[in-house]
A and B are shown apart, each in its own frame.
Chain A
Amino acid sequence: MNTLKTVGHPTSRIDAEKRVTGTATYTGDLRLPGMLYARVLRSPHPHARIRRIDLSRAQALPGVKAILTHENCDVIWGSGDMRNKRYLFNDPVRFVGDAVAAVAATDRHTAEEATRLIAVDYEVLPFVLEPEDALKPGAPEIQPGGNLSPTARGAHEPEQYRRGNIDEGLRAADRVFEDQYSSPHINNAQLEPRVAIAQWDGDRLTVHTPTQGISNCHTEIARDLKLAPEKVRIICQFMGGGFGNKNQDHDFELMAAVLAQQAGAPVKIEFTRKEDFLAVHGRWPTKQYYKVGVRNDGTLTAIQLRGYSGMGPYRKGTGGIAGIEIYQCPHVERLVYPTYTNKAVSANLRGPDFPQGVFGIESLMDDVAYALKMDPVEFRLKNMTRKLNDQIPYTSIGLEDCIRRGAEAFEWRKRWHAPGEGSGPVKRGAGMAMGSFSSSMGRSSAVIDLDARGTYHLHVGVTDIGTGAKTTMALIAAEELGVPLEKIDVIWGDTDRCPFSVGESGSRTTTQTGWAVVEAAKDLKRQMAEKGLPQGNQLLTATVNANPAPLTGQARYSFVAHFAEVEVDTETGHVRVTKYVAAHDSGRIVNPLTAESQVKGGATMGIGMALHEELLYDRASGQPLNAGYYGARILTHLDTPEVDVLWIQTEDPYGPFGAKTLGEPTIIPSPASVGNAIHNAIGKRVNDLPITREKILGVLA
């Protein structure tokens, strides 16, 4: 791969100083004159009809300016449910945490007190927590038409994928392996809680909000409030993470807007951490049943998956269970049942369909390899995907190198052994897993102005959720323009000042918005050659609305393999990750410094998913038990191993300088690699995430 001048060199973030001096302004840091504070009252029941709401005591509290309930607000939150009408306030309420009322008052303590003074008379309804229970005849109906969430075409049937003939594939096998796995609801748990400020200027609405996509947010708020798009402005200068739960417009932004209009003053709405855990969304819990057919030489003949995803009561995410696509196999069948339950809502969390699915399939494939007396690395090299779904060639694929060179860096041969081998109470083991993630090209825009002072003003609609997107965009512009990074002035995070960007979801910013930046820079260079440099007050402007044609006959993917070594204390069940190698093919790496941060972060989040995180519910009452950082046992400094990052930089003909996607692949194989390492250490497998001490002691007993 050729070396470039600016792209590919470790570079500190252009806004790093703001981030370390407390001068980066997040939404919660803003105060507008006359601003009110809002708080939300939520359902204490998993399923209930609202008989009556008595607001009289809350209204009488001095300082209360506006109260919304389902009786006076029928705004539909379009992004809150892809299939049903989900209002900002619903009757019946369908999970513990469903919004019942929102109050705006002169200060947050008064608003909070007012929510406590609202009396709600509920008719408690039967509830159901687990998807498979929800699909049984006689289960409480959560949405009209039944608890199997319909497909996009409205059919009440599972999401299906088939190639070949699964029965033929299973018949052709020498051996068939079957097993089942599960994964729980876990929360995105980004550090910044939900907060938005809505301000009306006549009929024009400005919303300050921490979002992963100002353009999506803009379109969707206008849609939900029935406003013309030009009447809405979205601003997000700094935001404290999201990992998929700030992609669209959200109920809190709409609540703030309606409250602000009713009260005639700007409103800042704040969710508590508990609300963030219960009332927004987390990763969908799954139950996965697999059958895998294999020949004695290790060739796969069939993979079958029947899976259930608990969506909570609203369909906010796909509910997909991905992972089997990383294997080549002639006969494949996948049926997934996205199902309504009365648990917290489920939707996107970093690699939405992937880490839980990869945990299932990679656990089973490890067992298959062991049963056939094959090294798990060799088994994967033999069976890994070579074409997407065995049909479509990849534009570039570095998966084999991820596995081979990752194994070398990890010293796989030294660390891996027969499962359960070794004496003493503390046992060591090694495991690995692999994954892939789409890196398709698509629509995004960029504008570059060049002024007479030689500064390039780059307008991009990114918000930088922690990925370093602003810096990445500036590096790409500097490279293409052939100017130093300091000459690029990035304008971001404001729909009045920035063009459309795809949003920081699907790990698409570098590939899609980055591509628009390349195109805009090329156009500007053409103009400079034609018209000369701008003089005086002149500007040269290049505007690009990039919309690359979809690839035909080719698929563009990133690839990854992770390797973990663990120590398991067989007397206490405690697991410590002692070595971790993450090998990534994301094409050319634009900024190795921030890219390394992303890989370390994704792997760390995946280790937490493997060992700790689960939102627990009491089966009898339907109450969530451990919402919050402490209860979720989010990984801390003390739990986190050193993560070694290995770049497999394939040459890819598409994307900005051949860059492929990175953010989400970083978590995909992480829980599976830790699970496989635990199995290798103790010789027993825990099939249900998270792999807690009790479960380890359970399988050892």
Chain B
Amino acid sequence: MSKISRRRFVEGTGAGLVATTVPLQGQTAKAAAAVPHTTVKLTVNGTVHRLDVEDRWTLAEVLRDHLGLTGSKIGCDRGECGACTVLLDGKNVYSCSQLAVWADGRTVQTVEGLAQNGKLDPLQEAFIEHDGPQCGFCTSGQLMSAKALLNHNPHPTTDEVRAGMTGNICRCGNYNHYVESVLAAAATLAADSRRKA
């Protein structure tokens, strides 16, 4: 960037700001080659993807920026809030704290994979009915942790729901309604399985 004086800059703002110098294209290509890449196989919501990923990319980044699955949110990017929670081989994990290369050969389920054949998951139905989401930014993560919980404990108590979802922060503070939703979904699932039996 050429040095721009304050005066020149102020003058420039009237007719569009002063452009900076742009690095040569060749340099960009060289830099891209310098970043280590790996080809990985990911099964996401039932679809197999072969992807060339930079080793520094997180799973959250790959899902959102490269597979267009933006339902998982990045709230902190450091394993504190849970907004990016997905299921990795059925277990709820913070996708911001997993490198994409670590997920090679594994199966990922995101919020986009919850509804089946156009029918919402009972958890999603319950979240709507009990007003789980306020701003909605933590919701996908709450849903995925709830899904993991019900997968291994179909009849949780209130305290078990709280414990199972405690890694998912909701700053709107709607924990009461999230817990209610999960208990309601568990009841629906139990009634469904009784009907099928």
Contacts and interface: CB of A to CB of B under 8 A. Distances in A.
Interface stretch (B99-107, B135-143, B189-197): B135-143
B120 interface: yes
A337 B165 CA distance: 43
B21 A59 contact: yes
A249 B44 CA distance: 38
Interface string A223-256: 0011000000000001111010000000000000
Nearest to B143: A20
A509 to B, nearest CB: 14
Contacts of B131: 12-13, 16, 468, 593-594, 596-597
A638 B136 contact: no
Contact of A239 (B13, B129, B135): B135
B136 A273 contact: no
Contact of B133 (A16, A25, A59): A16
B171 A190 contact: yes
Nearest to A227: B13
A273 B75 CA distance: 7
A242 to B, nearest CB: 8
A459 to B, nearest CB: 22
B129 A261 contact: no
Contact of A71 (B4, B17, B32, B115): B4
Contact of A22 (B29, B56, B72, B135): B72
Interface string A598-628: 1011111100100000000000000000001
B124 A193 contact: no
Contacts of A225: 13
Contacts of B35: 109
A552 interface: no
Which of B28, B64, B132, B134 has the largest number of chain A CB atoms within 10 A?
Answer: B134
A530 interface: no
A297 interface: no
Contacts of B59: none
Contacts of B31: 61-63, 110
A253 B179 CA distance: 36
Given A261-B16, A465-B135, A601-B174, A629 B112 contact: no
Nearest to B123: A20
B111 A192 contact: no
B20 A634 contact: no
B27 to A, nearest CB: 4
A602 B173 contact: yes
A145 to B, nearest CB: 23
B111 A72 contact: no
Contact of B173 (A67, A605, A638): A605
Contact of A262 (B10, B18, B71, B80): B18
B70 A29 contact: yes
Contacts of B171: 188-191, 241, 243, 605, 634
Nearest to B179: A637
Given A22-B69, A28-B74, A67-B1, A16 B128 contact: yes
Which of A73, A110, A191 has the largest number of chain B CB atoms within 10 A?
Answer: A191
A70 B42 CA distance: 45
Contact of A238 (B27, B136, B162): B136
A273 B28 contact: no
B52 to A, nearest CB: 14
Given A12-B128, A193-B74, A26 B64 contact: no
A106 interface: yes
B95 interface: no
B37 to A, nearest CB: 13
B9 A72 contact: yes
A628 B78 contact: yes
Given A22-B111, A238-B136, A466-B172, A262 B17 contact: yes
Interface residues of A, number: 80
Contacts of A628: 76, 78, 80
Interface in A77-125: 106, 109-110
A637 B168 contact: yes
Interface string A346-388: 0000000000000000000000000000000000000000000
A22 B17 contact: no
B172 A597 contact: yes
Contacts of A20: 111, 120, 124, 127-128, 132-133, 139, 143
Interface string B111-125: 110110000100010
A278 to B, nearest CB: 13
A638 B80 CA distance: 15
Given A13-B131, A29-B70, A637-B178, A273 B120 contact: no
A21 B120 contact: yes
B136 A24 contact: yes
A17 B100 CA distance: 29
A601 B10 contact: no
B166 interface: yes
B23 A191 contact: no
Given A20-B128, A603-B173, A640-B176, A273 B78 contact: yes
Which of B3, B4, B134, B173 has the largest number of chain A CB atoms within 10 A?
Answer: B173
B81 interface: yes
A161 interface: no
A2 interface: no
A10 to B, nearest CB: 8
A60 B1 CA distance: 9
B6 A597 contact: no
A191 B170 contact: yes
Contacts of B169: 191, 629, 634, 636
B76 A22 contact: no
A597 B80 contact: no
B53 to A, nearest CB: 12
Given A22-B111, A191-B137, A72 B4 contact: yes
B83 interface: yes
Nearest to A580: B176
A193 B19 contact: no
A16 B30 CA distance: 46
Nearest to B68: A31
Given A19-B127, A26-B73, A226-B13, 7 more contacts: A63-B23, A65-B20, A65-B22, A72-B1, A262-B17, A262-B19, A601-B173
Interface of B: 1, 3-4, 6, 9-10, 13-14, 16-24, 27-32, 35, 54, 56, 64-65, 69-78, 80-81, 83, 110-112, 114-115, 120, 124, 127-129, 131-140, 143, 161-163, 165-179
Interface of A: 12-13, 16-17, 19-26, 28-29, 31, 55, 59-67, 71-74, 106, 109-110, 188-193, 203, 225-226, 238-241, 243, 258, 261-264, 272-273, 465-468, 593-594, 596-598, 600-605, 608, 628-630, 634-638, 640, 642-643
9 contacts: A13-B131, A22-B111, A23-B71, A55-B1, A203-B16, A240-B75, A596-B131, A635-B175, A637-B168
